[in-house]
Structure 1
Amino acid sequence: MNPENGGLSQEEIDAMMGGGSPSEKNTDADDGPGKTVGTEARRTDQASTSQAPTSSGPTIVPLDLLNQDRMNRSRMPTMEVLNDRFARSFRGSLFNYLRVNADIISLSAQIQKYGEYIGKIALPSYFVMVSLTPLRGSMLFIMDPYLCYAVIEAFFGGNGRLEPKLEGRDFSVIEQRVFNKIIDHAVEDFTSAWEPIIKLRPKVLRSDVKSQFVSIASSTEGVVGSVFEIEMERWSGKLYTCIPYNTVEPLREQLVSGVAADQSEMDPSWKQMLHMDIQNAMVDVSVILASQDIPLSRARTLQKGDVLSFDRVQDARVYVEDILIGEGRYGAFKNQYAVKLVSYRTPSEEDVLQSIRLKKEGINNE
């Protein structure tokens, strides 16, 4: 500040207007007359800032209506439960066939494009196409090369010490027969696992080592792919299952909700068949025309040919499977002895339990 007039000097005014401090201006003056480096730098920063887009604004993404996925990528809890059931059942089948303990873990059940799913599988793998009647379409069971090697080693008693040579190797006819037997067990266990959802009637269509010969969908179509990690003593591999999304789409509500509807609802056809079977069941009917109480001492002296006299009774007791159901009048009908039921008694639960107990005691006594 100039003490003589109480105002600001020219250098201080330039500094306040953005020219920098006097020392900075003197430094900048060395670059040439009438040129200020600090001022030009600030102008450059302001220009770049004004041109840069702001991050706070909304991001616009183009939408292609012709290339949208039609599949729903939501989780399928029921699918995971079905895979766990299949893994437990298939574990027992492998032990019965190979006599080797196997640990099977269901790794994932995801919806993805068929081309992406097949592209992740190592070659040479064994592909088997299976129909899923009454559902439309077919599914794939895929044994990766490591599982194929593990099955062959376990089946023929290998020790697992040699590293498998998988590249450029073809499967022989005998090896393919072993693979087909493994797939047959897998298909059977898969059908049992899905029985709470739908009763499938699968059928093996064909098998190959190249995926293009057993294709079940186009590369852009969605599929439900599951992966199972199988470890057997000294070997391990992966089993893949692949179902087109369009095939299981009618069951989507059950697969997403996590509840199998047919477990709580009664099938009308099953109810009718059960009713018919019960109605056609054969039962034993016995009729006691008369009875008499005698002392034990007299009963021990009875011989073959002795005659016991009874008083004539009007009604006889009728039993079904040793359970009293009522009384009837005996006589003849079409030249045969017959009983006409005149009174009916509804059996109780105690009567049924007592009859069962007496039969068991009778069998044990014999």
Structure 2
Amino acid sequence: LKGVADGAIPAGSDAGGVRGGVRTLDLANQEVTLRGRLPGLERVADRLARNLRRALGTLFGQMPEVRVSALELERLVTFTSRLPQPVSLQLFRMAPLRGQGMLVVHPALAAGLLQTLFGGSLARPTPLAVRDFSAIEQRVLERLGAQVLRAFAEAWRPVEPVECAFVRSETNPQFATIVGAQDLVVRLDVDVLLDGSEDGRLSLCFANAALDPVRGQLRRAVASGEEAGGAAETSWAERMRAALAEAECEVSADLGSHLMSLREVLALKTGDLIPLRTGREGPVVVRVAGRARFLGAPGVASGSNAVRVTGRI
């Protein structure tokens, strides 16, 4: 100050000031994006989108495009104040995490699902009237909710086994309070794009405090195939191996063959015998999905023709 008073430092100088202007910081506002802050939660969201694509494809009869559009931290009152009407709100538990969560089925997706299951066409969408859902409509939407919660629980499995259990349905946000109005919640928006239909949306909302027991795990950014990611990859490989083991394939056995000229084939009549090159003990070629894999011997088991595997090709 003495330098300013003596004129050594010009009063208008920006020396020692903040370059580039002043940045406002609201210490009371905790609403932020979670992108980049909780990498583990981002991976949960991405796995949810992949799981939902298969689940919703069964309900809608076509494979939709599913993508995560938002992963935000905001106050519950902010979230509920922006909800459109009519809306299906389904409350659920996330054991062993504390508190409850809320699944929101937005009007466009609800209308598309109801129209599809009741024989309508997505090419001619019918907007939902602002009213309470009927008992049948509510059951259909809860069926959708069950698929979403199953996919959400599966998405959590590599991080923390979570069991999502349906509690009840609501249509009025005032009766769907999962935390205090000013408490922070995590909002996860998933967009569902169907051919010939208005873009739909699902939202999952749960208390930010519910993540406290697993926040450390969610903050660790582990690349796929490294450390915990390696365990996730191993788990994925095991599930893929188990799924492939349940796949059905056709198994057939060639009892024999014989070369004939076209003249001989045209001369065939009822009662003619065609000699085969296979003896009574085989070997018979056993094919799996059309490819020769085993050798066997023909026989009878439990009154039916059968082949006993004698070797591998």
The alignment's TM-score, normalised by the length of structure 1, stands at 0.53
Among 225, 229, 234, which residue is 2:187 paired with?
A: 225
Among 109, 115, 128, which residue is 2:90 paired with?
A: 128
2:215 corresponds to 1:252:
yes
Alignment map for 1:1-366 (pairs within 5 Å): 56=14, 57=17, 67=28, 69=30, 75-160=37-122, 162=124, 164-235=126-197, 236-259=199-222, 364-365=309-310
For residue 75 of structure 1, report the CA deviation from its aligned partner.
2.2
State how far apart, in whole Å, the 1-side matches of 2:189 and 2:98 are: 22
State how far apart, in whole Å, the 2-side matches of 1:163 and 1:94 are: 18
State how far apart, in whole Å, the 2-side matches of 1:139 and 1:242 are: 6
State how far apart, in whole Å, the 2-side matches of 1:186 and 1:175 are: 17
Residue identity in the other structure for 1:242: C
> SS at the partner of 2:73?
strand
Given that 1:95 and 1:102 are in contact with CA atoms closer than 8 Å, whether structure 2 keeps it comes out as yes
Residue identity in the other structure for 1:365: T
Residue identity in the other structure for 2:191: E
For residue 96 of structure 1, report the CA deviation from its aligned partner.
1.8
> SS at the partner of 2:189?
strand
For residue 225 of structure 1, report the CA deviation from its aligned partner.
0.7
> SS at the partner of 2:103?
strand
Q: Per the alignment, do residues 55 and 103 of structure 1 end up closer, same or farther by CA in structure 2, a change over 3 Å counting? A: farther
For residue 192 of structure 1, report the CA deviation from its aligned partner.
0.7
> SS at the partner of 2:131?
coil
State how far apart, in whole Å, the 2-side matches of 1:231 and 1:219 are: 31
For residue 364 of structure 1, report the CA deviation from its aligned partner.
2.5
State how far apart, in whole Å, the 2-side matches of 1:62 and 1:232 are: 41
Residue identity in the other structure for 2:134: S
Unpaired stretches in structure 2, ≥5 consecutive residues: 1-10, 233-293, 297-307
For residue 164 of structure 1, report the CA deviation from its aligned partner.
3.4
Residue identity in the other structure for 2:210: T
State how far apart, in whole Å, the 2-side matches of 1:69 and 1:243 are: 16
For residue 63 of structure 1, report the CA deviation from its aligned partner.
8.4
Q: CA RMSD in A?
A: 3.1
Higher relative contact order (CA 8 A, sep 6+): 2
Q: Per the alignment, do residues 70 and 227 of structure 1 end up closer, same or farther by CA in structure 2, a change over 3 Å counting? A: closer
Unpaired stretches in structure 1, ≥5 consecutive residues: 1-52, 267-359
Q: Percent identity?
A: 24
> SS at the partner of 1:203?
strand
Q: Cα deviation per residue 1:257-294 (whole Å; 9 max; x = unaligned)?
A: 2239766679xxxxxxxxxxxxxxxxxxxxxxxxxxxx
Q: Per the alignment, do residues 54 and 164 of structure 1 end up closer, same or farther by CA in structure 2, a change over 3 Å counting? A: farther
Q: Per the alignment, do residues 264 and 55 of structure 1 end up closer, same or farther by CA in structure 2, a change over 3 Å counting? A: farther
Given that 2:75 and 2:181 are in contact with CA atoms closer than 8 Å, whether structure 1 keeps it comes out as yes
For residue 61 of structure 1, report the CA deviation from its aligned partner.
7.8
State how far apart, in whole Å, the 1-side matches of 2:167 and 2:142 are: 11
For residue 157 of structure 1, report the CA deviation from its aligned partner.
2.5
For residue 123 of structure 1, report the CA deviation from its aligned partner.
1.6
Residue identity in the other structure for 2:309: N
Given that 1:134 and 1:200 are in contact with CA atoms closer than 8 Å, whether structure 2 keeps it comes out as yes
Q: Per the alignment, do residues 146 and 133 of structure 1 end up closer, same or farther by CA in structure 2, a change over 3 Å counting? A: same
State how far apart, in whole Å, the 1-side matches of 2:73 and 2:214 are: 14
State how far apart, in whole Å, the 2-side matches of 1:213 and 1:251 are: 28
Given that 1:71 and 1:245 are in contact with CA atoms closer than 8 Å, whether structure 2 keeps it comes out as no
The alignment's TM-score, normalised by the length of structure 2, stands at 0.61
Q: Cα deviation per residue 1:216-273 (whole Å; 9 max; x = unaligned)?
A: 112221111111111122222110011110001221122222239766679xxxxxxx
